[in-house]
Amino acid sequence: MNAFGSRAARFLFLLACSLFSSWAWAEPGVPLPLTPTVEAAPAAHLFGRVRELGSSDPLRSALVELLGTTRCAETDARGNYRLDSAPGSLQLRFSAVGHAPVLKTITLAPGQELKLNVSLDRVDFTSGTIVVRGKKERPQVITTTLSQTEIKKNPGSAGDALRAVQNLPGIAIPNDLSSQLVVQGGGPNDNLFLLDNIPWPVPFHFGGILSTVNSDLLSTVDLNAAGFGVRWGNCLGAVLDAKTRAGKKDRLHASLDTNLVTTQGLVETPLGWGDASLTLAGRRSYFDLFMGPLMKRFSSSSGSGFTAFPYFWDLGGSLDVSLTPHDHIRALALGSDDILGLYIAPEDSRDPAFSGDFRMENRAFTSGFSWINTAVTGLVSTLTPYYYQTLSANSLGTGFEINLQQDVAGVKEEAEWNAGEWLGMKHELGAGGGIEWQTYSQSMYFYKSVTNGIPTDPTGTTITARCINRNAYLQDRVLLLPALALTAGLHYDKNDRVAGDVLTPRLSLEWQADPLTLWKAGWGLYDQFPGALLTNPDFGNPQLSANRAEHTVLSLERKFSRDLLGRVDAYYKKYYDLVVNDSDTTINKGLGTAKGVEFFLRENLGEKFFGWISYAYSKSERMRPPVNDWTVYQYDQPNILTLVAHYNFTPAWGLGSKVHYNSGPLVKSLKTRYQDLGGTWRATYSDTYDQRLDDYLRVDMRMDYVWRFEGWRLSAYLEILNVLDRGNPAGITYSEDYSKAEVINNLPRMPYFGIEAEF
């Protein structure tokens, strides 16, 4: 018998002996003695919540293990867990994917219920996620989108949305103190700015220093550079479409950011009814609080100096709420103010006419809401009423004041309908329209003489204008083939101040050559109305018609991987009927062209890395009376190269850099210099921008670090602007007798740092 058989036989024999012994020694009718029972101690209960360190965000599917046993629990969507255990000293392990585990030792008494909250430190990265409510908008022919992370961590942009947009393909930087957008050879005033589908009339502080909206309020910013569809009118160049984000709905959140220029704060909270949430954000510059008194000490002996050191503030908020499963409301309000005061004594001015009090104050208020309805299957309807007001009060030295006020109220409706198949082809219809009432008032005051420095003999005039704007559009997107789609539409514009109605057709074609390759082409006509002053009978021409443009664009997109995208865009823009001055007459006789090609390679690895490289070659020209010859346009930038990268070595530590190069700015050259009868030197300049200064090259760097604590975190960031300390030209000035020229440079090397706390 083998070994296994011996052991089995032995086991059976011992078992039989044991059973026989128990039977033989038991007395009949007398039960066997039982082992005394010990009453078990009541179980203990452990519960709590697992969060991410540095915030109150719950961790779903985190694992809570009772070491030495098989007992464990998993957290729910809110991070809650519950675990029953025997009393005594226990060792627990909390873990989650991408987070460092935490060990806890506790002691539980019988029947005790203990709450234990734990925060886990994130050590790995997660991919970025985008939550889209309703139907996702189809991109235009040439569209580039920035996320909030790309906005806030874009090196050299100080976390500002519009300065970050300046780093996108085909955008030139006018100078370091301007965040104006010069897109594909167009002018800064050719663009349309929208915020949550609401007109954004004043997007910049002081005309271009920073945007008037706190970047923490935004979710994304889309720049539609050319060939955009019929939804938008009254625009010759590009459409910037910024979208705010919904406030967090779990609890009260707050953040405070203090840097070298501003202090800004944000509060977001649920309102306690449904899914309603409210977000408020405010910001104020504070150089005036300590630089103002300092500058007054160094004012000239004649009294020249700042009377109000430049400062600005803005305040905005949004309300996000679902009224029903098919009705959603997003409301927005935004206000801003810029103030500057300066006094120049006559003896400190080259020309006494440019002396005296200079004061500027610009105010703006924008409000509105979008009501999105999806009650009808396949139909998304968006109703947007809005109101905005702009105020400007300017004292421009001795003897001249100008005040502007504009009030606009409007409403627009936009609808998209997935109409299904007609004649064997799928159709997506879009239609909409709007009406707005505009009131414009401009008051100008002149002083005919000055006595002992006091202006006397005032005279003035007031220009008022009222008009109604109307617009409508209709389009159809037809799926001609499974990989080929055609979008055709018409846009209609009408302005009471401007002669003639405007009807502009637009077409675009999309061809998905393969799952990774997309071709897009577009053609369309565009218009933009001249301002109220230009159509005034006394100061302009009431017979003016709209400025017009024609866009022809071609785009090729290629996905090299899930995170790496390449794009090549070519465009040709033709401008005609541009409003220009011919002697003393304002007429529609200006012409222009802008043509170029852009290369764009972009990678986004979520929180770990984002970056891109772009190069644009273009040429922009204008022809206008009285020159009547084609000349280089003021904003022409033949070469623009941008490299942007930001890399997080760990979830706490990040480093970024930006390189921006473009051709030098254009200025008007000095033609002649002469002395007038009073002996003051004067000069005449070229009629065109015919002198190009040296090229612009700027390298910026950014470093940021995050300290994470229970329920809040602290961030520090440092940006070094113009690391190379290069003297990039911004303009040119001349000596008092115009015999010597001096180039004015942009910012030197400059540190910019700040601290942000988030709760």
Domain with CATH 2.40.170.20 in the chain: 244-758
Residue 722 is given by DSSP the state S
% residues pLDDT > 70 (the chain): 86
The residue among 618 and 4 whose pLDDT is bigger is 618
Q: Where does the pLDDT of residue 346 fall: very low under 50, low under 70, confident under 90, or very high at 90 and above?
A: low
For residue 334, the number of C-alpha atoms closer than 13 Å in the C-beta half-sphere is: 27
pLDDT over 90 at 6, yes or no? no
Beta strands 750-758 and 253-259 are antiparallel
Torsions phi, psi for 13 (to 5 deg): -65, -45
CATH topology of domain 142-243: Ferric Hydroxamate Uptake Protein; Chain A, domain 1 (2.170.130)
DSSP 204: B
Query: Is the distance from CB of 264 to CB of 283 less than 8 angstroms?
Result: yes
Calpha distance 199→230 (Å, rounded): 16
pLDDT in tens, 637-678: 999 999 999 999 988 999 999 999 999 999 999 999 888 887
pLDDT average, residue stretch 548-563? 95
**DSSP code for 376:** S
Q: Where in the chain is the domain with CATH 2.60.40.1120?
A: 44-120
Q: Can you read off the two tokens belonging to residue 438?
A: 């505009």
CATH 2.170.130.10 in the chain, residue ranges: 142-243
- Residue 446, token pair as written in the block: 């002149």
pLDDT at 548: 96
Please give the pLDDT value at position 352: 59
pLDDT at 133: 37
Enter the pTM of the model: 0.85
| Residue-wise pLDDT tens digits, 254-272 | 999 999 889 999 999 999 8
Task: Please determine, for residue 714, whether its predicted confidence score (pLDDT) is greater than 80.
Answer: yes
Residue 58 DSSP one-character state? B
Backbone angles phi, psi at 122, to 5 degrees: -75, 130
pLDDT of 17 strictly over 50: no
Q: Is the peptide bond before 626 cis (omega within 30 degrees of 0)?
A: yes
Q: Which CATH superfamily is domain 44-120 in?
A: Carboxypeptidase-like, regulatory domain (2.60.40.1120)
Q: What is the pLDDT of residue 611?
A: 95
User: Please, is 728 exposed, middle or buried when counting C-beta atoms within 10 Å of its C-beta (0-12, 13-18, 19+)?
Assistant: buried
Provide DSSP, 649-717: SSSSEEEEEEEEEEPPPEEPPEEEEEE-TTS-EEEEE-SS--EE-PPEEEEEEEEEEEEEETTEEEEEE
Tell whether the model's pLDDT for residue 307 goes beyond 90: no
Rounded Cα distance, 308 and 604, in Å: 44
- pLDDT over 90 at 586, yes or no: no
Give the pLDDT band of residue 550 (cuts 50, 70, 90). very high
Go through the chain and tell me how many residues it has. Answer: 759
Q: What is the pLDDT of residues 507-546, one digit of tens each?
A: 999 999 999 999 999 999 999 999 888 888 888 888 999 9
CA distances for 5 relative to 9, 12, 13, 17, 18, angstroms: 6, 11, 12, 19, 20
Tokens standing for 198? 């609401």
User: Looking at the domain that runs over 244-758, which CATH code has it been given?
Assistant: 2.40.170.20
CB of 624 closer than 8 Å to CB of 580: yes
